[in-house]
Structure formats: structure tokens, C-alpha cells
Amino acid sequence: MSRERSRTERTTRREYLRYGVGIATAGALAGCSGQSESADADPATATAMGTQTVADTGTGTETFYGEPYSAEIVPVGTVTLESVPETWVANNGSWADMGIALGQEPPAAVWLPSRYHTQYYDGIPGVSVDGSEIQKLWGDGGVGKEQFYALGADVHVFDPNFLLNRGQWTEDDIEELRTRVGPIFGNSGFSRNYTWHEEYRYYTLYEAFEKLSQVFQEGKRYEAFEAIHDDFQAVLAPVIPARSDRPSAAVVWGGGDQPETFYPYVIDEGTSFKHLNDLGVRDALANSDVKDFYASRGAIDFETLLDVDPEVLLIRGQEAKSRAEFRETVVKSLRQHEVASELTAVANDDVYRAGPLYQGPITNLVVTERLAGELYEFDGELFDRQRVADVVTGDIE
């Protein structure tokens, strides 16, 4: 199907999707109404939230070709589409980056565009995304339904349970979006600490990536990226020193140029920690008395950090800054602070940007390589940027 359809044609399809979608609801949302999945259940046999069917019937002047196909993911279930989505919405930069890796146009909107760090593409030849053109969905009180009507996306890539538990939506709101605008497809995997997610399985970054490739019918691109990732892991392995030789690191969120309070993150298996797990980072907070942010929502100060005294301090919330900007602002302020300057990490100049909350396949390669150089003094490239660019642009032979 051509990607050059007119605005009128797209509007015709939007109207059909909005009013003509047929949905057979097989059950309530997993984790929200008593029907749950085992955390390690096979998604192929897990109880679905419902089967969503999006059918194009050639109404108006538009004709659609191709055989229907389906994709499935827990907790949504099976989604059947008759044409590849052209416009889409993603909740965060993890899914957005996966879409770019699959050769798609950027999502029309994400929860918070400021946390989708498109500058990571700067080193990939021929790949770029203008983040200023991506609409912000998350505002005071969460996400408003009217925004989705205005966007009229072909597919909405997010976990519906996230909006039910964090966005003040109801099951009726979710059903309305699916039936009146377009299907939902997603799973929240960036953290493993949401209690509402305990009843159904998580996906690794590449498991989720493969699921999205089914939606966009880009299996070959996925397989090409999987091969890049396998090669990357093989090159990375000898860079990582023995565990006893790796420094302990504390991961905290500290925004602004002169942060003095921080939200602590214990490293888990979520995709936001993939680069740290791949690098074998030793977690200084894991065996401390400091409670993880997701458990307490509480902040800590320099005195508490000094009690832990990690060898390395990894600060989140600083990805919009370059390395030089980060050092000139955040690191400089720590050195000048009476208590912070006593931290071993500050004294030894081992304070770095921690990497983003939301990682896709391209983002992960970039930030893992960056932190490998900072933690383990590796000087060089761990992946072939031209090879990545070729896959994104479709040269996968």
C-alpha cells in the first residue's frame, strides 16, 4: 500500500476506523478485573483482553489490498489488521525507537516527547527524527481521549493497563478508543516494579521489538537488527571486566543543572536497565537500606548517598545534555557542594549520565557503547553504524 495517500484518503479511513471497527471482547483487562495471567505464561496461550479487528472495506474512493494479518501481545491479545498501519501513537521512546528501527515514520505522538531522545540518531548516517513534530500526550491528570480522536492513528502502541492505573482511565475509555479510533497494542516493560503488572508477563526489549515488527509486517528488519544485536553482544563481552573488577554504581534520577535531591533506582530486568545489565553493572543500592523509587516514591539527599558511597554515580534525567554540558553543570555543581564533594564517585570523577528510561534497539546500542567507554575505559566502536542505517533504510540483503 502506498505511503503517499492524500489527506482526504486518510480521513476517509479514519472515519471508517472510528465508526466501523468490530471488536469481540473475550475478557476484561488483565490485572484490572480479577482475570490474570501467570507472569511467565506463554503469550500464545494466555487469556487475551479481547480480539480486536480493524477492517478496511473500500468505503469512499479508497481501496485497500492485501491479506489480513494478526499480531498478538499480552495483555491486549490478538489484533487483526487488513493493512499495515501508516500513522501511529506510542507511549514512550522505547516503542518509538523500535518503529524507527523498523523503517517507519516517527509516531505522531508520545506521552512525553522530552524523554524520547532523538539526538541518539545523530551518529547513524541518514537516520534522523525531528522531535519537535511529535505531539505531547501526557499533561496534568494524565492523557485526554480527545487527543486520540484528533490524531486518528491507525494503531496505538501502549499497554492499556498503564492508562487504567496511571492515567485515570476506565475500561469504558479503553473500549471507546479501540472501537471509535483504532486498536491498542502494547505492554509496559521499561520497569518491573508496577504491582498492577505482576499478573501478566513482561517482555524483554527484543521480545517486544519482535511483537511490533508483526504489526508493521517488518520481520526481515527485525531479524537484521537481532543479528546486529548478537554481534554487538559478542564484541561487548571481552570489554567487560571480571565482576570483582567492576565498580559499584548507584543509579539515581536528578534533574536540572544542580540537583541536590535524587530518586533512587534499584537495577531490575526492565528494558530501561538493559544497558546496565548488559554491562554487568554492580548495583550499589541493591543491598543498601535505600528504598527503590517505585516502592517509596521518595527522594534521597547527599547524606544518604554518602552512607552508600558508590564508586560510580549514574544520574538519570540528564540525557538532553551532551557530555560536555553535563560535566560543566551537574558534575561541576557536585564538586562544589560541601557534602557531595565527599562522595567517592565525585572525588574520583566517576559521575556519568545514566542513560534513558526508554530504550529501543538503536538507543540501546548507543547508550551501552557510551557507558562501556566511561565505566571500563573502552575506546572505540562496538557496533557498525552504517549497518544500522542500512537496515533502517531497507538495505537488509
Q: What is the CATH number of the domain that holds 358?
A: 3.40.50.1980
Tell me the pairing of strands 351-353 and 77-81.
Answer: unpaired
Do both 311 and 174 map to the same domain? Answer: no
In this prediction, residues 305-309 reach a mean pLDDT of 98
Q: Is 348 within a domain?
A: yes
Rounded to an integer, the average pLDDT of 122-149 is 93
Rounded mean pLDDT, 167-184:
95
C-alpha cell at 158: 501502549
- Output 50 or 201, whichever has higher pLDDT: 201
Split into its structural domains, the chain has a count of 2
| CATH code at position 59 | 3.40.50
Rounded to 10 degrees, the C-alpha dihedral 121/122/125/130 comes to: 70
Are 143 and 260 contained in the same domain? no
Task: Specify whether 213 is located in the same domain as 332.
Answer: no
Q: Return the pLDDT at 59.
A: 36
Q: Are residues 267 and 201 part of one domain?
A: no
Has residue 159 been placed in a domain? yes
Percent of the chain residues past pLDDT 90, beyond the cut: 78
**Is the pLDDT at 50 greater than 60, yes or no?**
no
117 assigned to some structural domain? no
Distances (CA, A) of 391 to 1, 104, 194, 214, 387: 20, 12, 34, 16, 6
Domain span at 335: 241-393
User: Which has the minimum average pLDDT: 23-37, 225-239, 330-344?
Assistant: 23-37
| Residue 267 and residue 377 share a domain | yes
Which residue did the predictor score with more confidence, 21 or 325? 325
Residue 269 pLDDT greater than 70, yes or no: yes
Taking residues 220-244, what's their average pLDDT? Answer: 98
Please say if the pLDDT value at position 38 is more than 60: no
Residue 9 burial (C-beta neighbours within 10 Å; 0-12, 13-18, 19+) = middle
Residue closest to 285 by CA, chosen among 262, 260, 252, 257: 252
Q: Are residues 20 and 84 in the same domain?
A: yes
Clarify whether residues 272 and 171 are in a common domain. no
Cα separation of 98 and 205, whole Å? 9
Residue 266 sits in the same domain as residue 213: no
3-state SS class at 238: helix
Is a pLDDT exceeding 60 seen at residue 28? no
200 and 256 inside one domain: no
Confidence check: pLDDT of 48 > 70:
no
Q: Are residues 289 and 199 in the same domain?
A: no
Amino acid found at 13: R
Q: pLDDT band at 66, cuts 50/70/90?
A: low
Task: Establish if 85 belongs to a structural domain.
Answer: yes
> DSSP letter at 61?
T
User: Of 159, 182, 217, which closes a domain?
Assistant: 217
Any domain includes 72: yes
Considering the domain architecture, whether residues 262 and 320 belong to the same structural domain is answered as: yes
Query: Which residue do the cell numbers 560535566 mark?
Result: 327
In a domain, 332, yes or no: yes
Q: Let me know if residue 222 belongs to a domain.
A: no
Same domain, yes or no, for 278 and 157? no
Asked if residue 208 is part of any domain, the answer here is yes
